[in-house]
Amino acid sequence: VLDFNDPFSTEVKPRILLMGLRRSGKSSIQKVVFHKMSPNETLFLESTNKICREDVSNSSFVNFQIWDFPGQIDFFDPTFDYEMIFRGTGALIFVIDSQDDYMEALARLHLTVTRAYKVNPDINFEIFIHKVDGLSDDHKIETQRDIHQRANDDLADAGLEKIHLSFYLTSIYDHSIFEAFSKVVQKLIPQLPTLENLLNIFISNSGIEKAFLFDVVSKIYIATDSTPVDMQTYELCCDMIDVVIDISCIYGLKDDGTGAPYDKESMAIIKLNNTTVLYLKEVTKFLALVCFVREESFERKGLIDYNFHCFRKAIQEVFEVRMKVVRSRKHQSHMQKNKRPTPNGTPRMPL
């Protein structure tokens, strides 16, 4: 496995590890969220038999690496350097099949979390209680409570109560997997408080009920304002993005097939039958702002558009600061590599 020990790589692109027992649904999650695969098509995926790495660089903020670990690999075997694996990791997602006997999965989870925490206490531990589409609502809640209780009891017995585990009920057959991944990714975005503050200022000055900043490729929302997120609202936003992208791909390209279907002029307005308006505006090449506005507030569209212009300008400034930091770290990493001695012991000369 290459690049596990590259400090610059993991600092600029946080690493997310996808772990769990065989057939728990890890590869299906990755394909549905990041490759737009239909959930039904995942039934034909073969079992993963090697570690798969993928760079996700869809936007200026959704920028990380995903490492998909086969369930049958014992990375605590002496032939694996598990300390190197966990040292540069931002988040560890452990997938548990809720429709299977999860006792073995819980034992594996405990072993993985305790080893990883000793190497890197800053890892975010995210537990996806997966395939809940086959469970009743009562069974979902009971399963989550049972897994939550057992996992935390195991940590308490080991004297590790300070380790925090986050639990999510997920399925690839609805939007729960996208919302769960959104929460995971947000923890890896250092600009998140700035983005949330900008959204709060924007909606309070524009008469907007709710606003999401979406990555249009993956439908992960990388930030929202401080008001609570309603699942139905989030699903409507995802559906709107799908409609806009599909129509743009059909009618937005030139006759010769060139051009970008989603550009700086992209926008959409959908009026719902409950006196609410869905308003989508392009922020950057891969980011979109989706707002919920009441019809009477949307009559002041000019004010909303002016405030949006200010918001987009602020986002661009945040992005420029991030790029300066990335370039600075890249330069530092390059200089450190040049300072390393060559095999014969002489220092490297700067290029």
pLDDT band at residue 9 under the 50/70/90 scheme: very low
Mean pLDDT for the stretch of residues 133-151: 93
What DSSP letter does each residue of 244-258 carry, written as one string?
Answer: HHHHHHHHSS-TTS-
pLDDT grade, residue 261 (50/70/90)?
A: low
What was the pLDDT predicted at 279? Answer: 95
Q: What does the alpha-carbon distance between residue 75 and residue 219 come to, in Å, rounded to a whole number?
A: 32
Write the CB contacts of 253 (distance below 8 Å, at least 6 apart in sequence). 259, 261
pLDDT value of position 244: 87
Note the pLDDT of residue 18.
92
Residue with tokens 């004297």: 159
180 CA to centre of own chain: 8
Looking at 1.10.287.3610, 3.20.20.70, 3.20.20.140, 3.30.450.190, the CATH number of the domain 191-323 comes to 3.30.450.190
Give the distance, in angstroms, between the CA of residue 190 and the centroid of all CA atoms in the same chain.
13
Whether the Cβ atoms of residue 92 and residue 19 lie closer than 8 Å to each other = yes
Annotated domain spans of the chain:
15-188, 191-323
Residue type at 26? K
CB-CB neighbours of 331 under 10 Å: 11
187: tokens are 């923890």
Domain 15-188 has CATH 3.30.70.60: no
**Range scoring the smallest mean pLDDT among 71-80, 162-171, 335-344:** 335-344
Cβ of 150: how many Cβ atoms within 10 Å?
A: 16
Among the listed residues 147, 150, 152, the one whose alpha carbon sits nearest the alpha carbon of residue 130: 147
Cα gap 97→272, rounded to integer Å: 37
Nearest to 185 by CA among 4, 5, 15: 15
Would the pLDDT of 29 be above 80? yes
